[in-house]
């Protein structure tokens, strides 16, 4: 189609049924030759998960500054580094350093990415955590009791130069059946007509009242609706349950030269636009 139409601008989604956006962009670039054909990615991705060759699961929840197209463009190179280095078996420290260096290099000075990166080991029953600027996450028992917090100890990705970046992580126990509840600041920062925020206390009330984990997302969104607030930012929710190793289905191998992980040349200039996205994921 590109050869027949020769468009002056191409819009792609990262996730498409026949060929993903990364591979399509690579082929279009090859077909275009020396001609300049701008490619814009539009996607609803807010949270990602991928598996290492050893079977550990990496989860990334990110929140870029801004809304709409600028944030979507910034998400694409971040997702490529995340998928590519996870597929090659790199740990969180190396992946974080590469993501931070890439965002620091390509993003304008007023853009950065708050991020929470996890590595779950089902064999060891542990979770490794790095949190840079995201709201506190919650470690929950199988019954929903709050067992602990995942607090931010770092600046967001893309703020610090590589030599200043801190890749220190925490390793916490996570028993079978225990869960991690993660969220973006669009939840707690939702404000009503009197400029009151939904806040952490109301969120913890929802967590305490929840009796069915499958309904937790619905109950959070219902509580926001009852509060009558207007979301000021994107809303993302993620609920991850630790499973026993024997419960897990074999994961397909994502090769490092596949369309989801190969490097692309990226640059970012000035964009304008606005938008609001909501996302949720459940992983077990």
- Structural domains in the chain, CATH included, are 1-42 (no CATH), 43-243 (3.60.40.10)
- Indicate the range of 8-17, 151-160, 182-191 predicted with least confidence: 8-17
Residue 275: the pLDDT is: 28
Q: How confident is the model over 130-179, as pLDDT tens digits?
A: 999 999 999 999 989 999 999 999 999 999 999 999 999 999 999 999 99
The pTM is what?
Answer: 0.74
Cβ neighbour number for residue 209 with a 10 Å cutoff = 10
Is residue 32 within 8 Å of 3, Cβ to Cβ? no
- Through-space distance between the first and last CA atoms of the chain, rounded to whole angstroms: 39
Residue 35: the pLDDT is: 72
- pLDDT range class, residue 15, cuts 50, 70, 90: low
Q: Under 8 Å CB-to-CB from 229, ≥6 apart: which residues?
A: 190, 191, 192, 196, 197, 198
Helices marked H in 210-243: 216-227
Cα→Cα distances 32→5, 39, 89, 266, Å? 12, 11, 34, 16
């Amino acid at each position: 189609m590109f050869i027949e139409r020769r468009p002056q601008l191409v819009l792609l989604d990262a996730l498409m049924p026949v060929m993903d956006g990364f591979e399509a962009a690579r082929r279009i670039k090859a077909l275009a030759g020396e001609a300049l054909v701008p490619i814009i990615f539009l996607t609803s991705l807010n949270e990602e998960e991928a598996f290492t060759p050893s079977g550990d699961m990496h989860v990334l929840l990110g929140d870029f500054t801004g809304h709409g197209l600028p944030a979507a463009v910034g998400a694409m190179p971040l997702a490529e580094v995340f998928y590519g280095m996870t597929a090659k078996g790199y740990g969180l420290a190396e992946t974080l350093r590469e993501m931070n260096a890439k965002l620091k290099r390509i993003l304008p000075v007023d853009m950065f990415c708050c991020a929470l990166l996890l590595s779950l080991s089902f064999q060891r029953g542990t979770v490794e955590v790095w949190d840079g600027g995201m709201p506190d996450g919650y470690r929950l028992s199988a019954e929903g009791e709050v067992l602990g917090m995942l607090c931010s100890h770092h600046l967001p990705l893309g703020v610090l130069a590589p030599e200043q970046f801190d890749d220190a992580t925490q390793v916490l126990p996570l028993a079978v059946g225990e869960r991690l509840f993660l969220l973006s600041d669009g939840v707690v920062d939702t404000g009503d007509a009197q400029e009151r925020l939904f806040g952490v206390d109301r969120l913890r009330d929802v967590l305490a009242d929840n009796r069915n984990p499958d309904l937790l997302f619905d109950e959070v969104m219902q509580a926001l609706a009852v509060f009558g607030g207007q979301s000021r930012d994107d809303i993302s929710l993620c609920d991850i349950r630790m499973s026993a190793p024997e419960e897990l289905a074999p994961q397909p191998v994502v090769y490092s030269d596949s369309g989801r992980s190969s490097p692309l040349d990226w640059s970012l200039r000035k964009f304008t636009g606005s938008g609001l996205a909501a996302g949720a994921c459940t992983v077990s």
